[in-house]
Amino acid sequence: MEIQSNFIKTIMEEDIKNKKVDGIITRFPPEPNAYLHIGHARAIVTNFELARQFDGYTNLRFDDTNPVKEDSSFVDAIKEDIKWLGYTPNNILFGSDYFEQTYELAVRLIQKGVAYVCDLSQEQVSSYRGTLTEPGKESPYRNRSVEENLLLFKQMRDGKFKDGEKTLRAKIDMSSPNINLRDPVIYRIIHITHHNTGDKWCIYPMYDFAHPLQDSIEGVTHSLCSLEYVDHRVLYDWFVEQCEMPHIPHQYEFGRLNITNTIMSKRYLKQLVEKGVVKGYDDPRMPTLAGLRRRGYTSDSIKSFILSTGLSRINSTVSSEMLENSLRNDLVGKTKRVYAILDPIKLIITNYPDQTEAIDLEYNPENLELGSRILPFGKEVYIERTDFIEEKPNKHWKRLSLGIEVRLMHAYFIKCNEVIYNEDGSIKELLATYDVLTKSGSGFNERKPNGNIHFVEAKTALPATFNLFEPLMVDSDSDRDMMERLNPNSWKTVQGFIEPSVGNTFKGERFQFVREGYFATDYDSKEGNLIFNRIVELKSSYN
Ligand code: ATP
Ligand code: MG
């Protein structure tokens, strides 16, 4: 699937046609302060696919200018996610690679008289900034001499001041209608060990200052970001111009991707992990790429989902059904179709001999390359509890009831004759008889069964744990407190059985469990303790 036409692609085509650029260079700039989520996949796919369309390339640049929240474990996780999506960055870079250059450029701004060291506290800076309707007030430190500013900035670097004691600010316009231009802070003091540069620095550039310079140094032509940066674009251009950067990159903004019943913000995902609401960033319910991967999503299904949502200048909320459908479309012809019983009741076929029978069955009639296996059949089988009801309720009931005949798929017609109960009144097992003439494939057509249900043979069945998921959030109302929106049923575990052919599965392997859904073998699954995650049900519950 190729990236569709969109407004950014059009801009790139024009820029190439008008020789504004020689080629397309993009970058993906995550901050290594959490795991990537599927919203980031929109930014990744967009950057990499667009550059590829024009034979250009994409850099991965970690925006690590805030050491307070960043960590190298996140760097590794982000690299893995991008690789999993099938993309190879042309260069892997860090904002911190440019600290020296960024510092020099800040010095240049001071020398030009467009940056100054300010002693106002963070609170004072905010209150001086004014509001949307009121202009800001100039800092009393705004007119320090170039010499004094150079000295103070050097002392900031040398660690002479405490956190927050001084900042370096751009001298732009305290009455600009765009608040971002009211003398933004461009350097702050943070005495903390940085994951890359250790204790070398105690001053760190702000994103708005560092980002355009990094884009320029790397020769990025189209710097793509989400809509919340629209009002920062003037500032982006201002820094490129004032720093007299030889290469001029341009920023373009696109709408963010949101998904129904899904939290899509690193800050909140981090809280879910830290509060223990989920089992980690790769919890299969999480919208992180690591979570989706563990759940069993394929990278192709994620890419085609992203591409199918298109790209526009407005933020969009897409139904989670679309993501699920994308997985079904990807897996339908690719996976083995096998049998699992998630909520078993034993059914004993009283007139069947004490033996097992081998049914030779291809894995997927739509893809014979997947081969075939032996499905055992015998006197005792497990069927799904929901496939039995004592009294047939109405003509729409196409499953088993007392006195009713159904086909056990690929085997025989069976008729249920008796229910054996536990002391508490629940069903212990069912007694049935089979008709030897009705063997599947024999051409028998004298009667029609009431329906077809699946089974696994009891002696050869392997016990298995199935994790069944619902959305983490009960609604899409991001104004409500996240903790109140948690779905108490988001993770349900059941014990059942699988047919023996599934036994030697490997981690991450995907199956279609007939009538039950698409499943993937969980990372913790092992021989004797098989665990499967339901990725999606077979049919959309929407229809
Ligand atoms: P969040 O807001 O979820 O905490 P972020 O925007 O702070 O994420 P960054 O690491 O700064 O995370 O994101 C890297 C890039 O991914 C940015 O260019 C950002 O615009 C983009 N991005 C993040 N979330 C989305 C989203 N939901 N849809 C599209 N692009 C996104
Ligand atoms: Mg951000």
* pLDDT for 92 beyond 70: yes
Is there a single domain that holds both residue 351 and residue 309?
Answer: no
Is there a single domain that holds both residue 318 and residue 393?
Answer: no
Q: Specify if 495 maps to a domain.
A: no
CB 30 within 8 A of CB 266: no
Q: Specify if 81 maps to a domain.
A: no
Is there a single domain that holds both residue 313 and residue 378?
Answer: no
The structural domain count of the chain equals 2
- Report pLDDT digits (tens) over 387-445: 999 998 999 999 999 999 999 999 999 999 999 999 999 999 999 999 999 999 999 99
User: What is the residue-wise DSSP string for 84-106?
Assistant: HTT---S-EEEGGGGHHHHHHHH
Say if ligand 1 is within 6 A of residue 312 CB: no
Query: Cβ–Cβ contacts within 10 Å for residue 302, how many?
Result: 24
What is the predicted pLDDT for the residue at 515?
97
What is the predicted pLDDT for the residue at 543?
44
Atom of ligand 1 nearest to the CA of 226: 20
* pLDDT, average across residues 237-252: 98
Query: What residues are annotated to the active site?
Result: 31, 256, 266
Q: Specify if 420 maps to a domain.
A: yes
Is there a single domain that holds both residue 322 and residue 411?
Answer: no
For residue 284, the domain's CATH number is 1.10.1160.10
Say if ligand 1 is within 6 A of residue 166 CB: no
Is there a single domain that holds both residue 304 and residue 402?
Answer: no
- Cα 529 to Cα 523: distance, rounded to the nearest angstrom: 11
- Cα 389 to Cα 406: distance, rounded to the nearest angstrom: 13
CB 383 within 8 A of CB 414: no
What is the predicted pLDDT for the residue at 478?
86
CB 289 within 8 A of CB 85: yes
Ligand 1: distance of its center to the CA of 138 in Å? Answer: 33
- The residue out of 455, 476, 503 marking a domain boundary is 455
Pick from 388, 379, 386: which is nearest to 420 by CA? 388
Q: Which residues of 284-294 are buried (b: 16+ CB within 10 A; e: fewer)?
A: bbbbbbbbbbb
Strand residues in 222-269 grouped as ranges (E): 222-226, 250-254, 257-259
Query: Cβ–Cβ contacts within 10 Å for residue 176, how many?
Result: 16
| DSSP run (H or E) holding 492 | strand 491-498
* pLDDT for 176 beyond 70: yes
Query: Cβ–Cβ contacts within 10 Å for residue 338, how many?
Result: 24
Amino acid (1-letter code) at residue 319: S
What is the predicted pLDDT for the residue at 540?
75
Is there a single domain that holds both residue 351 and residue 432?
Answer: yes
What is the predicted pLDDT for the residue at 2?
82
Which of 26, 35, 40, 46 best tests ligand 1's pocket when mutated (most atoms within 8 Å of CB)? 40
Ligand 1: distance of its center to the CA of 446 in Å? Answer: 63
- Cα 95 to Cα 194: distance, rounded to the nearest angstrom: 12
Is there a single domain that holds both residue 290 and residue 352?
Answer: no
Residues paired with 474 in a beta bridge: none
CB 385 within 8 A of CB 345: yes
Q: Specify if 307 maps to a domain.
A: yes
What is the predicted pLDDT for the residue at 70?
85
The mean pLDDT value of the chain amounts to 96
Query: Cβ–Cβ contacts within 10 Å for residue 141, how many?
Result: 17
Q: Residue 535 gets which letter from DSSP?
A: E
Which of 282-286, 374-378, 383-387, 473-477 shows the lowest mean pLDDT across its residues? 473-477
Classify burial at 19, counting beta carbons within 10 Å of its beta carbon; exposed 0-12, middle 13-18, buried 19 or more.
Answer: exposed
Is there a single domain that holds both residue 395 and residue 449?
Answer: yes
| 492: Cα separation from own chain's centroid | 21
Q: Specify if 56 maps to a domain.
A: no
Is there a single domain that holds both residue 428 and residue 350?
Answer: yes
Q: Is the pTM here over 0.85, yes or no? A: yes
Q: Specify if 62 maps to a domain.
A: no
Find all residues with CB under 8 Å of 206, minimum gap 6, and list them. 65, 184, 185, 186, 187, 188
Pick from 506, 420, 496, 431: which is nearest to 464 by CA? 496
CB 472 within 8 A of CB 278: yes
Is there a single domain that holds both residue 325 and residue 397?
Answer: no
Q: Specify if 15 maps to a domain.
A: no
- Report pLDDT digits (tens) over 186-221: 999 999 999 999 999 999 999 999 999 999 999 999
* pLDDT for 542 beyond 70: no
* pLDDT for 153 beyond 90: yes
The dihedral over CA atoms of 99, 100, 105, 108, expressed in degrees to the nearest 10, equals: 140
Classify burial at 335, counting beta carbons within 10 Å of its beta carbon; exposed 0-12, middle 13-18, buried 19 or more.
Answer: buried
Which ligand does the CA of 306 lie closest to?
A: 1
What is the predicted pLDDT for the residue at 65?
94
Which ligand does the CA of 256 lie closest to?
A: 1
Pick from 62, 28, 55, 33: which is nearest to 43 by CA? 28
Residues paired with 81 in a beta bridge: none
Say if ligand 1 is within 6 A of residue 30 CB: yes
How long, in residues, is the chain? 543
Q: Specify if 323 maps to a domain.
A: yes
- The residue out of 423, 455, 487 marking a domain boundary is 455
Full residue range of the structural domain in which residue 263 is found: 258-331
- Report pLDDT digits (tens) over 307-333: 999 999 999 999 999 999 999 999 999
Q: In Å, how far are 44, 72, 83, 89, 290 from 76, measured between CA atoms?
A: 16, 6, 11, 14, 12
- Report pLDDT digits (tens) over 71-86: 899 999 999 999 999 9
Is there a single domain that holds both residue 438 and residue 351?
Answer: yes
Ligand 2: distance of its center to the CA of 362 in Å? Answer: 49
Shortest-distance Cα residue to atom 5 of ligand 1: 266
- Report pLDDT digits (tens) over 47-73: 999 999 999 999 999 999 999 988 899
Largest CA distance in the chain: 102
The percentage of residues in the chain with a pLDDT greater than 90, rounded to a whole number, is 97
Is there a single domain that holds both residue 354 and residue 428?
Answer: yes
For residue 422, the domain's CATH number is 2.40.240.10
The token pair at 378 is 């015998």
- The residue out of 393, 428, 455 marking a domain boundary is 455
